[in-house]
């Protein structure tokens, strides 16, 4: 009998700890095989791709990964390169950095390289992304949008993503950039999709496309608007939206959650090391 394959995604809200305990990145290396890990870093979203690559290669090496290589297509044509595809085919872990998710969408989605990432995920390699690299895991990702607490009409834009997490819209830097409003407005317009907002230095580990576990120093925010009432079809541009009856879940580290039923599975109290970061500690990006 063939052994069943379990899939893993690590969806990171950005600005994850790289110098201290590196809880989130340490988990990624462990999921990728620890000292046997063969990791591919895709720094394409970043405006400082080489710097991002060097940073993550250093961290993953310090955490024990056996091999770290880069895959950075300069164009959609490059994303058809057999050499780049083969690098993904041999990886046990794929990591997409932060930056501009539109660059990722333009260069990856619908290409042989994106297909290779999907195959890697399906065969059991862990696929992780931080900030922009987290957004693109959705089938439909937030590519532009205004920050703020109040949901408003037409304050966001959805673009095609990789589809590794098909029934969820992901937003990142969630608490730090006050993105509650734009996530709420996105799910009001697509109530069949769950909204997932992830704080910085926090990750949603998703197993088999369903079971979510939270780790890191922040929280994961889930919005379920499937039975909500909204005026999004009639509201004027930039007007505050009516969204009544949405169910929200704030999930700190130690929480497990079922994405299919949108229900809490369990919670184990944990005491993460809380970090207060200055804005200057992390390079700015549009994610």
Q: Hey, which residues are catalytic here?
A: 131, 173, 200
Query: 61: buried, middle or exposed (CB in 10 Å: 19+, 13-18, 0-12)?
Result: middle
**Burial code of 136-160, b = ≥16 C-beta within 10 A, e = fewer?**
bbbbbbbbebeeeeebbbbbbebbe
As a three-state string, the secondary structure of 59-71 is: HHHHCCCCEEEEC
Specify whether the CB–CB gap between 175 and 209 falls below 8 A: no
3-state helix/strand/coil string of 180-245: HHHHHHHHHHCCCCEEEEECCCEEEEEECCCEEEEEECCEEEEEECCCCEECCCCCCCCCECCEEC
CB-based contact 167:193 (threshold 8 Å): yes
| Length reported for the chain | 287
């Amino acid at each position: 009998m063939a052994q069943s394959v379990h899939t893993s995604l690590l969806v990171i809200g950005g600005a994850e700890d790289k110098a201290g305990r590196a809880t989130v990145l340490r988990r990624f290396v462990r999921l990728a095989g620890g000292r046997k890990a063969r990791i591919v870093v895709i720094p394409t979203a970043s405006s400082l791709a080489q710097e991002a690559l060097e940073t993550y290669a250093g961290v993953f090496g310090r955490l024990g990964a056996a091999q770290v290589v880069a895959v950075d297509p300069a164009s959609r044509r490059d994303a058809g390169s057999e050499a780049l595809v083969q690098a993904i085919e041999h990886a046990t872990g794929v990591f997409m950095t932060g930056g501009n998710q539109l660059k990722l969408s333009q260069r990856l989605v619908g290409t042989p390289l994106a297909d290779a990432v999907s195959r890697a995920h399906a065969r059991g390699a862990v696929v992780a992304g931080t900030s922009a690299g987290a957004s693109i895991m959705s089938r439909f990702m937030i590519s532009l949008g205004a920050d703020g607490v109040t949901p408003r009409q037409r304050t966001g834009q959805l673009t095609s993503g990789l589809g590794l997490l098909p029934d969820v819209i992901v937003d990142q830097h969630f608490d730090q950039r006050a993105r509650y409003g734009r996530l709420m407005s996105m799910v009001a317009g697509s109530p069949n999709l769950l909204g997932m907002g992830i704080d910085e230095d926090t990750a949603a580990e998703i197993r088999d496309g369903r079971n979510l576990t939270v780790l890191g120093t922040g929280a994961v925010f889930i919005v379920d608007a499937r039975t909500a009432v909204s005026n999004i079809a009639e509201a004027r541009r930039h007007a505050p939206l009516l969204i009544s009856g949405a169910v929200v879940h704030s999930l700190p580290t130690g929480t497990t959650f079922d994405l299919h039923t949108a229900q809490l599975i369990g919670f184990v109290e944990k005491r993460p090391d809380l970090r207060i970061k200055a804005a200057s500690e992390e390079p700015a990006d549009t994610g």
